[in-house]
Amino acid sequence: MTGTLVDLALDGQVARPDVRPQLANGGANATGAAVWRDAKTVLVTRVTGPRQLTSVPRLVIPIGDTQLAFRVSSRSAECEELARDGRVLVQPGDRRGNPALGSHQRQGQAQLVTAGTLLAHVESEIAAKYRWRIPVARFAHRLGHGDAPYADVVVLVTVAEPSPIPMLPR
């Protein structure tokens, strides 16, 4: 995987979580983290080919006000596609992976993080938020993918404000 990032300054490419304080008096980002913290799942839509989009429900945690993080396997097609084209649409979802009522899609830019302290932080936060769902997901991954590593890459998505411009294929 070329173009992946670490959260340590090793090779010049650094993924830094957005830790800006929340805006007082109800600014645009004042409830940004709450949307992702309260979501049971998040639907992540990515570009999979020319004029093709694929949506997958993911277990996520908020990072700061404008970012969220989830984990994928380094051997998955999703990881390769996000390394090639990091544009995504994210939308809060319910427990079954359907869009939450009243929610809407937001554009984002995904970065793959392969090493550093962000990996351990995301793993512990996801374990705390989703408790019993992690062993179930790990078992399903083992059944479907055999000995492929489970969730060894963190995807850090910087979410933009809602935009009327659609995500067009390149």
If residue 72 lies in a helix (H) or strand (E), which one and from where to where?
Answer: strand 67-72
81 vs 141: which has the higher pLDDT: 81
**Strands 106-115 and 5-6, bridge-based pairing:** parallel
Q: What is the largest CA-CA distance in the chain?
A: 50
3-state secondary structure (DSSP) of residue 20: coil
- pLDDT for 10: 42
Is residue 41 within 8 A of residue 59, CB to CB? The reply is yes
* Residue of 35, 26, 56 whose CA lies nearest to 104: 35
Would you tell me how many other CB atoms lie within 10 Å of the CB of residue 126? 22
Mean pLDDT of 83-112: 91
Output the CATH code of domain 5-14+26-159.
2.30.110.10
Residue 160 CB coordination number (10 Å): 13
Stated pTM of the model: 0.74
Q: How far is it, in rounded angstroms, from Cα 97 to Cα 55?
A: 10
Partners of 45 in the β-ladder: 55, 89
What confidence tens digit (pLDDT) does each residue in 5-64 have?
Answer: 555 444 445 565 555 544 433 444 445 678 888 888 899 999 888 889 999 999 899 998
Task: State the amino acid at position 24 in one-letter form.
Answer: A
30, 22 Cβ separation under 8 angstroms: yes
